[in-house]
Structure 1
Amino acid sequence: EGWGPLSPSRPIDFTSCFQYGALSVGLSTALLAVAAVRLFRLKSKPQLPRELVARGILRAKLLATAVLMAVSAAELVAVWAQYPPVSVFTIAMALQTVAAVIAALMHYREQLVNPIASTLLLLYWLAGGVLALMRLRTAVATGLADNSLAAVVPSTGYALLALLMLVLECQPKPQELYELLNGDDNIRESDDVRQSYWAPEERANLFSRLTFSWLDPMLDEGLKRPLQMEDT
């Protein structure tokens, strides 16, 4: 089929070379490049108060990324068995595995210092899940799924885990420490305490900002009773 991008034999489908060589390699390379800059910037950020870290979510993220790394490695082994050791397919899966490791490190740092969801990780897991589904669709369309389940099970697992990571990253941080600060109260608050306070819009992730869903809790509360200044 060549590099395509569109397959001449399958309608509305990309060629395997384009999926692995352009899309998968491009996505992993982009994450590695941007993550290097992001991790460098996160080094200078102070750690969030313990109450805002949401350690349960952090543990779930680390566990899910550990499983995802294993699934990605299994997908690399499956591709290695079908293609030459040095090919665009094995390189793509090797980069995907390395990117999963870097993503786990980013999840850890972002959860400790960032009050909102990481836009980079949200976009990466969304794109990664879509690409895994594309590879799965191609495997089914070409009959590879009928000949070898080992070739499609890792892609299925990766797509599901990427969706799980997307959901986990969208989970908001706790709001117990949010308070309305104005007037002289701002002056009396120390820098360490003040960094614990964010307005709901400031804490909204990318998708929440695009859909204005960060307003939902306030709107729900407004349906029950008149809103007060201290409502957040």
Structure 2
Amino acid sequence: MQLSDGELELKNLRLQTQELSGDVIYDSERGLAGTRVSGTLWGRPVSAHIRHFGKGASRDTQVVVDGNADIESIFTWSQRPELKWLDGDMDYQALITIPAKAKEAPYAAVFELTSNLAGINVNLPEPLGKPAEVKTNFVLRAPIGDQGSLFHLNYGEHLQGQFWLVQGELDRASIALNAEAKLPAERGLSITGDISNIDLPRWEKLLGVYREAPLCRRWCSKTWS
């Protein structure tokens, strides 16, 4: 089937791909495997294809999206305050994995965004900062469920984060430097880890993004340390 000027909206992820065109392939054995389309996401061109994992009733569906985006667009979508530490444009790959209904998974889908951050300035103190020409692995992953969404963030070897959102509002969060991020038991923001050199005035200013975040204002000023 030929698709022209179509749209795909994933409400749980608040993602909308527009101007979709390409070949949609379906058969009872292979499902949608082989489908390839192009369109726009976050205002820029993307290409996408569909593949499956497993067989029969246990077959998962995965949409693979390749594109380019500016950090401001990703921030507007995710509302992750940490993205204010970055600026520039980057190539990325996004994976949207939809589990088979037979698995009765506790989530509707898993969204994962990966990039080497080439073209992105990371405005953090050493050893976390980097200029645009240096590559560093970045992963933002989020299982999306009815009870809430748990965002996992990994930046290079030095920074991890976990963010638990309930009905679109930040409930608990953890930032870890050279350590494993673990959500606090109670509502609030936890910052842990170890770093050899620290510029306290600059870090205090940088961490102010949590006080300014709309989803965090209610409690960050009380729980931050």
- The TM tier, using the shorter chain, reads under 0.3
TM-score w.r.t. the length of structure 1 is: 0.25
Structure (1 or 2) with the greater strand fraction:
2
Higher relative CO (Cα under 8 Å, sequence separation at least 6) belongs to 1
Relative to the length of structure 2, the TM-score reads 0.26
